[in-house]
Chain A
Amino acid sequence: MGVPRKPIEPPTPEASAFLEMAMDQYGKATYNFAYRLTGNEADARDLAQDAFIRVYRAWRSFQPGTSFLSWIYRIVTNLYRDELRRRKGRFQEEIPEDNAPQEYGGQRPLAVDPIADYVAGQLSEPLSKALGQLSAEQRQVVVLADIEEYSYQEIADIMGCSIGTVRSRLHRARALLRRLVTRAQQEQK
């Protein structure tokens, strides 16, 4: 860490007020989103911190009337992606091709998985573990679609990809999550 330098300009009252309000109102959601992406609190703190610094620097580019949460989730997503690239090798995971053939050739059997058992049982732990085993992109799309309940279009905007990519990532992520949770539950028994 170098010696901190003094900024040329002190924080302006408008930017400071904007940031203060953003952290008060959306700090928790942002931090939890970061936590679900990273899977640990230390990285989530760093990610949330960097995101709010970015908010401070770019607060003028936020358009009133649009969703602040979508905006900051986009910032968090981009920062997380940059961080993964920076740490390339440490967190690199095999990401299935979105255009790869479907496992069941589009004719999936309609056998019902025992999801009701998941709900009734201790779900938090196996689900959290399973989420951590998804690729970064799959985890993002599950968090945004199933936990934050964003539409595919909103997710595509946040992640900077097409709706088709969101769709295929979500399908694969959910299928993988099911397998991982089922396996975890079988191991518990």
Chain B
Amino acid sequence: MTTHYDRDTLTDYLHGALEPDADAAVFAHLESCTSCSAVFEDEAAFGEALRTAARAEELEFPSMVKARVWDAIRHQKPSWTERLRAWGPRLAVPVAAVVAIAAYLGAPALHGLPQAGVEASYFLDEHNAAAQQNPFGPGIGPAIYTPDTQDVTSVSSAASYIDTAEAATIDDATGAVR
């Protein structure tokens, strides 16, 4: 029984799209099979007809297209990459400076928040101010350390001062009375 090739295979053969083995097999088959050979010729003629039709309709490149291309290029809005390229030299130095400053300022943030650089005297002053507003009020603390006078004044109540004043020792760092 003779095996014939279908039209699709012959189309692929016509376009040289078969693998070498298959191509050789179809070539040999067409030599002896008039039926397949007729289909192949038909396919080839169809392709030629398409090319003939295309050639018959071939158009010249309109000069207006060329003019419009140049006009569009001269007047069109540049793309963002072109803008960037055009601005590049002028932007390079300021952008580099901004990046450097940002890196310098932002570097500590990368290592966590900076430690508070408040001196102990700040807390002492705050403490004294609160105590002077209400020297006998509750919750202010037992005593105030005043660096200038080295005095201990009462804070929470007169009674607590009387009880603790003589035995009190002052912590130089914190001003707390022990």
Interface string of B36-47 (1 = CB under 8 A from A): 101100110111
CA of A145 to CA of B15 in the docked complex: distance in angstroms? 8
CA of A24 to CA of B61 in the docked complex: distance in angstroms? 9
Q: A19-B69, A23-B61, A53-B73 are in contact. Are A107 and B49 (CB under 8 A)?
A: no
Point out the residues of chain B lying under 8 angstroms from A19, CB to CB: 69, 73
- Structural contact, B39 and A119, CB atoms closer than 8 A: no
Partner of B52, one of A45, A49, A119, A178: A119
Tally chain B residues at the interface, Cβ within 8 Å: 50
CA of A110 to CA of B40 in the docked complex: distance in angstroms? 10
Q: Tell me, yes or no, whether A100 is within 8 Å of chain B by CB.
A: no
With CB as the reference atom, state the residue of chain A lying closest to B12. A167
Least Cβ–Cβ distance between A174 and chain B, in angstroms:
6
Least Cβ–Cβ distance between B157 and chain A, in angstroms:
79
Q: Tell me, yes or no, whether A5 is within 8 Å of chain B by CB.
A: yes
- Structural contact, B11 and A171, CB atoms closer than 8 A: yes
Partner of B86, one of A8, A28, A177: A8
Interface string of B53-65 (1 = CB under 8 A from A): 1101111111011
Q: Tell me, yes or no, whether B75 is within 8 Å of chain A by CB.
A: yes
Point out the residues of chain A lying under 8 angstroms from B35, CB to CB: 110
Q: Which of A61-69, A70-78, A84-92, A120-128 contacts B (4 or more CB under 8 A)?
A: A120-128
Which residues of B103-131 have CB atoms within 8 Å of chain A's CB atoms? none
Q: Tell me, yes or no, whether A158 is within 8 Å of chain B by CB.
A: no
Partner of B65, one of A45, A112, A146, A177: A45
Least Cβ–Cβ distance between B60 and chain A, in angstroms:
6
CA of A4 to CA of B89 in the docked complex: distance in angstroms? 25
Name the interface size band of chain A. Answer: 35 or more
Least Cβ–Cβ distance between B156 and chain A, in angstroms:
75
- Structural contact, B78 and A7, CB atoms closer than 8 A: yes
- Structural contact, B72 and A127, CB atoms closer than 8 A: no
Point out the residues of chain B lying under 8 angstroms from A30, CB to CB: 61
- Structural contact, A45 and B73, CB atoms closer than 8 A: no
Interface string of A94-119 (1 = CB under 8 A from B): 00000000101011101011011011
Point out the residues of chain B lying under 8 angstroms from A104, CB to CB: 6
- Structural contact, A119 and B74, CB atoms closer than 8 A: no
**Which residues on A are within 8 Å of B, measured CB to CB?**
4-11, 19, 23, 27-28, 30-32, 35-36, 41, 44-45, 48-49, 52-53, 56-57, 102, 104, 106-108, 110, 112-113, 115-116, 118-119, 123-124, 127-128, 142-143, 145-147, 149, 151-152, 163, 167, 170-171, 174-175, 177-178
- Structural contact, B72 and A49, CB atoms closer than 8 A: yes
Q: Tell me, yes or no, whether B50 is within 8 Å of chain A by CB.
A: yes
Q: A11-B74, A35-B59 are in contact. Are A119 and B45 (CB under 8 A)?
A: yes
Partner of B8, one of A31, A48, A143, A171: A171
- Structural contact, B61 and A28, CB atoms closer than 8 A: yes
With CB as the reference atom, state the residue of chain B lying closest to A125. B53
CA of A104 to CA of B47 in the docked complex: distance in angstroms? 22
CA of A27 to CA of B59 in the docked complex: distance in angstroms? 10
Which one of B12, B66, B75 has the highest number of Cβ atoms from chain A below 10 Å of its Cβ? B66
CA of A178 to CA of B62 in the docked complex: distance in angstroms? 32
Point out the residues of chain A lying under 8 angstroms from B69, CB to CB: 19, 23, 49, 52-53, 56
- Structural contact, B64 and A7, CB atoms closer than 8 A: no
